[in-house]
Structure 1
């Protein structure tokens, strides 16, 4: 309990130090500009969050072309020209005009490596410091957080901004608390803590206090958009502002991918895995499942190929990618596994167009854009049986199965084998049903729902 109170005291003290000068600035020393300010410190992460950023920018450029779109980024080489090119090359999103850029130099304060312990509270307080730098450099009328830094919302409100957030996943959830109570070891619950009843109890107190603080700061949003049914249920419970929460499914390039033929090359069937090389994506499980499937195949069966396609945000991701390559050698499947880093969107589409299946293994994936992309491209999904894929995506379409859900290595291996052994007619039928299901998560649907959610804020029709 003492640790929790210390954390809370530090948080309160830092906010007090920051918000006192903010009040003076609002009272006349700093004027707000009629613009949208997008708080997205990593504009080169290549994930679904970055796609949401560029589609949100595009939607607001269409709706309010008279207002500037300003991107706060910690990538120092980012320029308006490079960002408009990146949006097109990596995601196929054509912006109407280049966004303005505000460079941030305090990004190290939100990096997880800065906080080996108490990472969540450290990054959260660090985001307040980073947002302080951002808002001092440029204060927009509308502060738009597209990265999930809810602790910045009170600060943005003190600067007089209308606060809009797009939450991809809650910083903390009841599922995380449950795992600590059950003493389950995972990427966000160290084995040392999981083995100790006292450390686990201490972490439960820490998580409980943090979730209370998270609820307070999150409730400061004028509008909170969430990306899935699972995320919506958690945010409603934590923030207590159900009237200001809107579910807006993330944009997926279903129209472009649906143009790909459903027929696939017969030789060496390809299974694709599209995800950033982050620990929660559980790439090792995919390798082990693939190895198990290979061992079960008869000598006369065609050997599949597993292709990992993803991006690396930092040195830790690079090291993780290297460890995966070494693990493939250790499992004796390296001849059947390929790795592709930081591909352009065009190259990604080419790989999706040749895959018979797409594999995904993150537990409690808030939504699962890659799963939708598999389905739209004609690759049958094998997704984790939890959260977004389970609740929103891999559902039957007109009574037809659209893919597989799995949890264990054995279940993933069995799903891989089922797809490889599936007759072409059966595979095409399932792939067609999956493609129809994927159309419900199109970019067009995102633009439609996004604008419907944001327009009341733009015209000050909401609270």
Structure 2
């Protein structure tokens, strides 16, 4: 059985990118390969069973000895380093990498492996485009220097063109694929991430009348998620129409930056006298998140240009209607531009959509669509990934 390297910059957190590389490892095994997980930093593969219901403990691992507590963005610059070492030890048939910073690996292509690049988003596109999510987080000191340093160093390690550098180029959504087209002139194959195997697609969601006038949000505590905008601008508008509305925000805290943002949000809740109406819940277990989704009438995703949106997919699997910004892969691929969820571009639009879902049973039933998530199971992911890989076998 031939080896297949699966390289990712930071395996030690729970997120959409981590779900993708875990699913890829499983798919490669189903295709007759022997996956080897490659990481610049230490991580515990056993966590993936808890997070996603995917057992990675049976795979070999190449990883650094140190844990990462800060400078997570910069870790993308060195993903290639442990891959280069693993190439000598394993002589793989396939190398899968979801970072564009692998220029030092290109000269190793003569070793005979097939290189697959998966694009969550082409960060190099930010050199020419203005993205609100990036501006939200990196426009002010000192984060602007942090971003500037990364973009400067990226030029040293980025491959020149994915379609010339890799045998197969994949993207997580049709929206991301279009950004890649605008940047490089070619369109990658779209391979949507799966929902986690431990995420049940609910056949019979809890009924409207059994739910509270409550909105749930989910995602790591990070500025681009725009929780501050929701608390300070959107939620006060919603309270004017639905005075008894409640907001619960679940998020992961993994380092200094997310902790600082969480504390900022806590101060904001207090300053606006929203205690008892807005609840911030860090590092909650899945059971608590599911219970909140099952007892809420709406799920809100406020990020602009979200590349995919695994939290939205998880919410839809629970049968909770979604309101999301009318942009990015969430809008184009998951919500199918409004067919399976409500969109907004302003606080007023978002407030109006949430008010409808909290008070109008017919509107709520229209957008409670857990069956949509049957298109995103890990079996569907494997079938599509296999089809893509077959293209480079010919």
TM more than 0.5: yes
1:51 Cα deviation from its structure 2 partner: 1.2
Q: Which residue of structure 2 aligns with residue 145 of structure 1?
A: 97
Residues 428, 50 of structure 1: CA spacing in aligned structure 2 closer, same or farther, 3 A cutoff? same
Say yes or no: does 1:338 pair with 2:279: yes
**Out of 191, 199, 205, which is 1:261 matched to?**
205
Structure ranking higher in helix proportion = 1
Say yes or no: does 1:377 pair with 2:315: no
1:219 Cα deviation from its structure 2 partner: 3.0
**Out of 254, 260, 271, which is 1:319 matched to?**
260
Residues 320, 148 of structure 1: CA spacing in aligned structure 2 closer, same or farther, 3 A cutoff? farther
Q: Which residue of structure 1 aligns with residue 367 of structure 2?
A: 430
Structure 2 CA distance, aligned partners of 1:135 and 1:60?
Answer: 17
- Residue aligned with 2:4, SS: strand
Structure 2 CA distance, aligned partners of 1:246 and 1:88?
Answer: 28
Q: Which residue of structure 1 aligns with residue 129 of structure 2?
A: 178
Residues 126, 396 of structure 1: CA spacing in aligned structure 2 closer, same or farther, 3 A cutoff? closer
- Residue aligned with 2:292, SS: helix
1:456 Cα deviation from its structure 2 partner: 4.2
Provide the aligned C-alpha RMSD in A: 3.6
- Residue aligned with 2:165, SS: coil
Say yes or no: does 1:445 pair with 2:380: yes
Alignment of 1:129-208 (within 5 A): 129=81, 131-132=83-84, 135=87, 140-146=92-98, 149-151=101-103, 153-154=105-106, 157=109, 160-173=112-125, 177-179=128-130, 185-190=135-140
1:149 Cα deviation from its structure 2 partner: 4.3
1:355 Cα deviation from its structure 2 partner: 2.2
Q: What's the CA shift string for 1:34-57, capped at 9, x where partnerless?
A: 311111232222111111122112
State the number of aligned residues.
Answer: 387
Q: Which residue of structure 2 aligns with residue 43 of structure 1?
A: 11
Give unmatched runs, 5+ long, in structure 1. Answer: 1-32, 114-118
Residues 383, 214 of structure 1: CA spacing in aligned structure 2 closer, same or farther, 3 A cutoff? farther
Structure 2 CA distance, aligned partners of 1:365 and 1:137?
Answer: 37
**Out of 51, 55, 58, which is 1:98 matched to?**
58
Contact 1:215–1:239 at 8 Å: present in 2 too?
A: no
1:221 Cα deviation from its structure 2 partner: 1.1
**Out of 350, 358, 375, which is 1:420 matched to?**
358
- Which has the larger displacement, 335-344 or 443-452? 335-344
Structure 2 CA distance, aligned partners of 1:151 and 1:111?
Answer: 24
Say yes or no: does 1:402 pair with 2:345: no
**Out of 152, 157, 161, which is 1:216 matched to?**
161
1:227 Cα deviation from its structure 2 partner: 1.0
Say yes or no: does 1:63 pair with 2:31: yes
Structure 2 CA distance, aligned partners of 1:86 and 1:421?
Answer: 39
Say yes or no: does 1:291 pair with 2:235: yes
Structure 2 CA distance, aligned partners of 1:309 and 1:335?
Answer: 15
Residues 152, 213 of structure 1: CA spacing in aligned structure 2 closer, same or farther, 3 A cutoff? closer
**Out of 271, 274, 279, which is 2:223 matched to?**
279
Contact 1:291–1:333 at 8 Å: present in 2 too?
A: no
Contact 1:361–1:384 at 8 Å: present in 2 too?
A: yes
1:359 Cα deviation from its structure 2 partner: 0.9
1:261 Cα deviation from its structure 2 partner: 1.7
Structure 2 CA distance, aligned partners of 1:407 and 1:378?
Answer: 23
**Out of 419, 434, 454, which is 2:389 matched to?**
454
- Residue aligned with 1:225, SS: strand
1:131 Cα deviation from its structure 2 partner: 4.3
Query: Between Structure 1 and Structure 2, whose CA radius of gyration is higher?
Result: 1
- Residue aligned with 2:129, SS: helix
- Which has the larger displacement, 351-360 or 259-268? 259-268
Contact 2:250–2:281 at 8 Å: present in 1 too?
A: yes
